[in-house]
Chains A and B, each alone.
Chain A
């Protein structure tokens, strides 16, 4: 048992190198955000001036506002649709058109975004010609695009959680006479609450970060944060973007660590409760 958890020197080295590879770029972003010099990679002393100028940059501030609004709206819709889809995939299994349905759930996650972005734009253009809706590209069209992308991820997370938990609780509730809708809301939903929460967080980050699909779906009045970042970094290094990146890393890092801690905690609690219940039932 003990030697099962001993890593060979080769594995240890690979793990260390892998983590260094993943983190060196991120650390360098943060370090250079405190660089006084405008030439990002030439050290000119410690300074926080890029943070100050970042918070005065109205273009970035308004882009952040728009991106956060879109992210919250898309994540909400994606969680709703994705939870239903994950439930359908895990519990209904076969129904007419189920294969097509599962395929349409998988494809958005891997399909290159230049394709999904272009195709969705052409759909909206055709809809506009036919029925006049949507009148223009902007919040609504971006929201639809992000929702479609994110719901696939939510569905995968919810589906795999539903396949993990056994159906005996749902079966028992049904034997006791509960109706399917009630079973879903009282039994199933709380059991997958954690999966839904991580699906929501994942959707928010995906939406906040999306550049390519957004570029196709946005209109002149709606510029999201990734679009602003992209237009700036295309021209070269920019210390304000380093400051923005450091803030992102800090926020995401704290969120992920807290979420991970909470998840582990509740998992441990559940395991302890289950062990206690087992002991009691075997003693009685």
Chain B
């Protein structure tokens, strides 16, 4: 632990090193949230920028503070928002569960392959992640379309007589959500499963445990951390997803990311968009704090050995 002692002695240099990324994140990541909160109390205005200012210095040095609670009142009283938040959480939860069910066996299979082929398989799984997210969502537009590849194929082999409605509904929304977020689940699961000692399973089998029992008593508990990390990596961004509901979702699809986008770009109602964002942050702060605490614990565990 020599080097740590040295860094402690060199406090001024250490502070300078820390302060560069620290200051950047404070200014460009943390402070903006307080500005969002501030503007969520403003009112839409025909001006540039299109909202009223909260504080006005009046004659005689009187500082006038106006807080408009109307945006929040509207979010709380209008059913539409409650329904949208709820359906966003549901969609994200469903996506997370499906990614877990699908991703776990894939991650497990890759982790159990011999090291030479493991790298190739991992690369194959990660390759789509490196290609454009937007283009991968677009690809499904061509597959799910009424005259798309899936319908043409099913019609050609005679399974169906008329095209299935696969597109612009909840089915296409969920399918593409799972598709887009699957790599985010597989990677953390894999990195935990690959560290597992294979001899534990051999021991279990020597002691008479069947493969299913061995899986539930050994593999699953040992990969708990991977499950938590992967689920958070899928769930949190999925709640605010915009591109997928916009491109493949149906007309009745309610997703809060889309509502925020419409308030901002179509209605030009920046204060309302800020209020929608504030409520979304409040909903997500618990899972984000959970992920953060979890990662810190992981990190400290790693640092001690």
Contact = CB atoms under 8 A, between A and B. Distances in A.
A193 interface: no
A122 B296 contact: no
Contacts of B210: none
Majority-rule SS of B interface residues? helix
Nearest to B119: A264
A216 B260 CA distance: 12
Counting chain A CB atoms within 10 Å of each CB, the highest count among B28, B141, B145 belongs to B28
B240 interface: yes
A88 B15 CA distance: 10
Contact of B139 (A26, A90, A159): A26
Nearest to A128: B49
Contacts of B121: 15
Interface in A217-243: 226, 229-230, 233-234, 236-237, 241-242
Contacts of A55: none
How large, as a class, is the contact surface on chain A?
Answer: 35 or more
A93 interface: yes
Nearest to A129: B49
Interface stretch (A45-53, A56-64, A96-104, A272-280): A96-104
A7 B113 contact: yes
B303 A229 contact: no
Nearest to A1: B198
A58 to B, nearest CB: 21
A256 B109 contact: no
B240 A113 contact: yes
Contact of A167 (B3, B136, B296): B3
Counting chain A CB atoms within 10 Å of each CB, the highest count among B29, B148, B239 belongs to B29
B277 A102 contact: no
Nearest to B123: A260
Given A112-B237, A245-B135, A99 B296 contact: yes
Counting chain B CB atoms within 10 Å of each CB, the highest count among A90, A119, A233 belongs to A119
A256 B36 contact: no
B208 interface: no
B185 to A, nearest CB: 11
11 contacts: A14-B105, A25-B179, A26-B136, A41-B148, A101-B21, A101-B25, A111-B288, A119-B32, A125-B49, A229-B134, A252-B127
Interface of A: 4-5, 7-8, 10-12, 14-15, 18-19, 21-26, 28-29, 32, 39-42, 81-82, 84-85, 87-93, 95, 97, 99-116, 118-120, 122-123, 125-126, 129, 144-145, 147-148, 151, 155, 159, 163, 167, 170-171, 174-175, 180-181, 183, 205, 208-209, 211-212, 215-216, 226, 229-230, 233-234, 236-237, 241-242, 244-245, 248-249, 252-253, 255-257, 260, 264
